[in-house]
Structure 1
């Protein structure tokens, strides 16, 4: 595990992801802010890229600040559409209407 990344932090990030409701999305930066690490959006992305090793989490509900889907993960769009998340185009969700607000 890299410096600054430990199991406690991994599960802290994944527990926030687990709370995102069906039909909503959160951003990497939003999740980083919720765990008190506002400047660590990339860290959130890195943790989500290995989430499968820690259980089943709705990582498909996490997008970048502009609503862009994860490049190279074609299933993400299908999973979001199955939850009726509105799409702006083929690569972006309509972040204004579907962002999760706590």
Structure 2
């Protein structure tokens, strides 16, 4: 009889002190400069906890950290996670705009949350402005 292959283990809690993980996430949020944004997943990666975007969301939703720039953290596609028209949504839009961030329809314009390592490695290369299809040279 052959042994059954082991099923892949779902990601559990990473080893280490949960208080340390929380402190690392809060430090990563504090490190986002004014006028810039980062996605939940990017904050987790910067904290050394890749794949823990939901932890970031859970910690930020708990609140209680005076001066924490929670408003600089968005979904990976640049959208605000709060439902439109909610108190949290309105406050986040107001705080971002006060820092000079352009917000339209609940989405930050003009900048993206930082790319993931997969996006950096596997995305097609960007063409310099003025090259590619649809550009013509005037004579």
1:49 is aligned to 61
* Residue 66 (structure 1) aligned to one of 57, 77, 82: 77
The size of the alignment, in residue pairs, is 96
Deviation per CA, 1:70-102, whole angstroms, max 9, x where unpaired?
313120000000000022x221112x526469x
1:76 is aligned to 92
Asked whether 1:85 is paired with 2:101, we answer yes
Alpha-carbon separation, structure 1, partners of 2:106 and 2:72 = 14
Give 1 or 2: higher helix fraction.
1
CA RMSD in angstroms, aligned pairs only = 2.2
Q: Secondary structure of the equivalent of 1:93? A: strand
Asked whether 1:97 is paired with 2:111, we answer yes
Deviation per CA, 1:8-33, whole angstroms, max 9, x where unpaired?
11111001111111100011000111
Alpha-carbon separation, structure 1, partners of 2:108 and 2:76 = 10
Q: Secondary structure of the equivalent of 1:36? A: coil
Question: Does the 8 Å CA contact 1:60/1:76 hold for their aligned counterparts?
Answer: yes
Q: Secondary structure of the equivalent of 2:36? A: coil
Question: Does the 8 Å CA contact 1:68/1:93 hold for their aligned counterparts?
Answer: yes
TM, length-normalised to structure 2: 0.61
What are structure 1's unaligned runs of at least 5 residues? none
Alpha-carbon separation, structure 2, partners of 1:41 and 1:66 = 13
